Structure 1
Amino acid sequence: MRVLVTGASGFIGHHLVPALVAAGHDVRALVRESSRYDPPAGVEVVEGDLLEPASLAGVFADVDAAYYLVHSMQAGEAFAERDRMAAHHFADAAAGAGVSRVIYLSGLGGEDDELSEHLRSRREVESVLRDGGYELTVLRAAIVVGAGSTGFEVVRQLAARLPVMVTPKWVRTPCQPIAVADVVTYLAGVLDAPETAGEVYEIGGPEVLTYQEMMERTAALMGRRLHVVPVPVLSPTLSTYWIDLVTDAPRSVVHPLVHGLKNPVVADDDAIREHVTVELTPFDDAVRAALAAEDDA
């Protein structure tokens, strides 16, 4: 099957492209700058920008299925508008080229009006992609644990740099982190499970943890001891300023993520496991793998 991966040079795409090649697919990787992307052997690399529809000419030609792994949070406050525009351009190009399947990695969270701007944007992208002339499969995940994941990087840096943390009450919000290897297995697996076309699935690791538990366990695996003191007066906005002081994660990405920490992100439906078999990675093992990968980088 000929498969297009948008966002091939990003965190998830970096892991997914070689997995698709190993599964025997003919992979085309869409990147904005080919000189900054080192593809696996046999991967066709094409340049294009989803914000510039003219640059997509021929990109979707002869493609059977396409992955949408793009987000624009690094654009700052305009990220939702840019994500909306990119999704429209992708949907138009894919439908126009006759692509039959699209697979999108979205974010876990409820369906109510209390979602953060980040999660609302993810839902809006789902809606835009769903209007294309193809069958859409959506996978929704919480924090992905792996080297290069911004969400996990914030957890790691906080665990590494502070012996004591005074934090807002969101540190006790439930979350279901998942190892990047498991996300990739699900993403690649639904491609070979035609019955998943047109469906939405929630994916998560084997444990539901609070952010406090994730930070404490990550610190322990780094040989540190972390004391977390939740207080009710530190708002999400103040939290972003505090995290800016402690970590070097990009503000444009961290701020929307922090505002979303108030939302429980737990996979309440395991229907995906009827179609794709994954031996889920325990949180501690996922962290060990991420730390080892960072040491090797």
Structure 2
Amino acid sequence: MTATNRRPVIALTGASGYIGRNLLKQLTPYADIIALSRNGDDKEDTEHVTWRSCDLFSMADAEKALEGADYAYYLVHSMKPSAKLTQGTFENMDVILADNFAQAAEKQGVKQIVYLSGLVPDADHLSRHIRSRLEVEQVLTSYQVPVTTLRAGLIVGPNGSSFPILAKMVKRLPVMLLPKWTRKKTHPIYIGDMLDSLVRCAGRTDLYDRSIDVGGPEVMTYKNMMRETAEVMGKQPKMIPVPFMTVNLSRLWVSLVSNSPREMVYPLIESLIHPMIARPENMVSGISVGSTPFREAARKSLEEEKQKRPAGRLKVLTIPDIDNDVRSVQRIPLPHGKTALWTAHYYAEWLSRKIHPLLSVQDDFDGVINIQFRGWTLLELRHSADRSQPDRALFYITGGLFDDKKENERGRLEFRKIPGREECIIAIHDYMPSLPWFMYKYTQAKAHRFVMYRFRRHLEKEERKHGTARLPLLLQGRPFINQ
């Protein structure tokens, strides 16, 4: 990109996050930025930055957010819970986010998506975190918008995830037990170099539909990174190699010592069993190799973190306003040749048989599904035909005794086929229950999770037992079974 001619418009997801904030500063000399954040309306626009609130779990929000964008950066990850009660794994939530973003980018005519992912080791059994990053890449590339993926290992910076955890460990532990995984090699990169690589990708047609590995000038072990970080801090912790501390035990220990949330630490530590090194065949000149040595990167990061830390000031804890909202996401197998809409009606039919006679499910096949108890509607689900597609069936929660009608504005249930896979996501978003929270959490929420588990097991069993041919027969010849 250059500062000449018309300034391109770039949509930047995660603009209020650590990497997003810094990338925003790097991009503004060359482009007008649509800065996307869940709380974008609270931010102040500037000459070249327009903030937009965006919840990427909503397809409609994603489409509005990307309106007018030439290029888009995808820096999203869902390791942290996204609602007061979040049921589901980060892998399944990441699929929804990526699918919404990619479809919205295609609809709005975005020319390129730049996606920041992780290095992929040469191994048969990958960690959940790495598998998820690869699946997101596959989802993003399933549509017509070219995707450029930058795969990075540990990013060295004062904020973010991995390096601050490592720094806290070194700072707080006078004696460090180093399990076997600390001898694995990794390819750290300084945040400044990472940002330069990201900026250089936008608008490069020769990088369309490519996955590019990036790393710093050194390949080193986690043990060496800890030792050099300690030297920069002026500390001399005793490091004792041990053969017995497993990854499972390490992740718990790291979470406790660093005081970091399990949702973030566990997937990261699980990935450390693999060497994480940029591969020469996946490198691009001028983009793949950073120039900042690890020791200098660690020193700069620690100094920046120290400068931003309030001195002599008591930190006041504030309790944010939290809605009593629910997000529940589950993944099920999808019979070959079947659509999301088929899954929705099949689920209603299966549920009706399983909960009878305690409850009943009325599916009129005209767009309304009612879950009832002795004639009383507990939940009413209304199909949104205009917001649905063959691979996505959307139902809004529009009534019933279990629905908080005053608060529920966006509550919805969706069935979504995962691109390129015979799997389907069933998700509840922004649901506001009418039951008191403690009662909902231990009754209705647990019942829903159990029902989803049983439905998944049912589909797996039927496919093993009969293959996919028998499943439509259970719907007794309804006209929608081939949709």
Fold shared by both chains (TM-score > 0.5): yes
Query: 1:123 aligned to 2:134?
Result: yes
Alignment of 1:278-289 (within 5 A): 280-289=291-300
**Aligned partner of residue 171 in structure 2, secondary structure:** helix
Contact 1:153 1:249 in 2 (8 A): no
1:224 to 235, 238, 243: 235
Q: Which amino acid aligns with 1:261?
A: L
**Over aligned residue pairs, what C-alpha RMSD do you find?**
1.8
Q: Which amino acid aligns with 1:30?
A: L
Deviations 1:182-216 (A, max 9, x none): 11100000114321111111000000111111011
2:302 to 275, 291, 294: 291
Q: Which residue of 2 aligns with 1:200?
A: 211
Change (3 A) 1:192 1:277: farther
Q: Which residue of 2 aligns with 1:6?
A: 13
Task: Kindly report structure 1 stretches of 4+ aligned residues shifted beyond 3 Å.
Answer: 35-41, 270-273, 275-279
Q: Which residue of 1 aligns with 2:24?
A: 17
Contact 2:37 2:53 in 1 (8 A): yes
Q: Which residue of 2 aligns with 1:85?
A: 96
Q: Which amino acid aligns with 1:67?
A: Y
Deviates more, 1:164-173 or 1:104-113: 104-113
Deviates more, 1:231-240 or 1:179-188: 231-240
Q: Which amino acid aligns with 1:2?
A: V
Query: 1:70 aligned to 2:81?
Result: no
Alignment of 1:144-183 (within 5 A): 144-183=155-194
Deviates more, 1:39-48 or 1:190-199: 39-48
Cα deviation for residue 50 of structure 1 reads 0.8
Greater relative contact order structure (CA < 8 Å, 6+ sep): 1
**Aligned partner of residue 74 in structure 1, secondary structure:** coil
Deviations 1:81-113 (A, max 9, x none): 111110000011001111110000100022543
**Aligned partner of residue 57 in structure 2, secondary structure:** coil
Deviates more, 1:57-66 or 1:134-143: 57-66
**CA distance in 2 between partners of 1:220 and 1:153 (Å):** 16
Instruction: Provide TM-score, normalisation by structure 1.
Output: 0.94
**Aligned partner of residue 191 in structure 1, secondary structure:** coil
Q: Which amino acid aligns with 2:274?
A: N
Q: Which residue of 2 aligns with 1:107?
A: 118
Number of equivalences: 296
Q: Which amino acid aligns with 1:19?
A: Q
1:50 to 53, 56, 78: 56
Give the strand-richer structure, 1 or 2.
2
Q: Which has the larger radius of gyration?
A: 2
Cα deviation for residue 55 of structure 1 reads 2.1
**CA distance in 1 between partners of 2:292 and 2:36 (Å):** 29
Contact 1:164 1:226 in 2 (8 A): yes
**CA distance in 2 between partners of 1:186 and 1:257 (Å):** 23
Query: 1:188 aligned to 2:194?
Result: no
Query: 1:60 aligned to 2:70?
Result: no
Q: Which amino acid aligns with 1:231?
A: V
Deviates more, 1:116-125 or 1:240-249: 240-249
Gaps of 5+ in 1: none
Cα deviation for residue 233 of structure 1 reads 1.4
Instruction: Provide TM-score, normalisation by structure 2.
Output: 0.59
Contact 2:41 2:52 in 1 (8 A): no
**Aligned partner of residue 140 in structure 1, secondary structure:** strand
**Aligned partner of residue 107 in structure 2, secondary structure:** helix
Q: Which residue of 2 aligns with 1:250?
A: 261
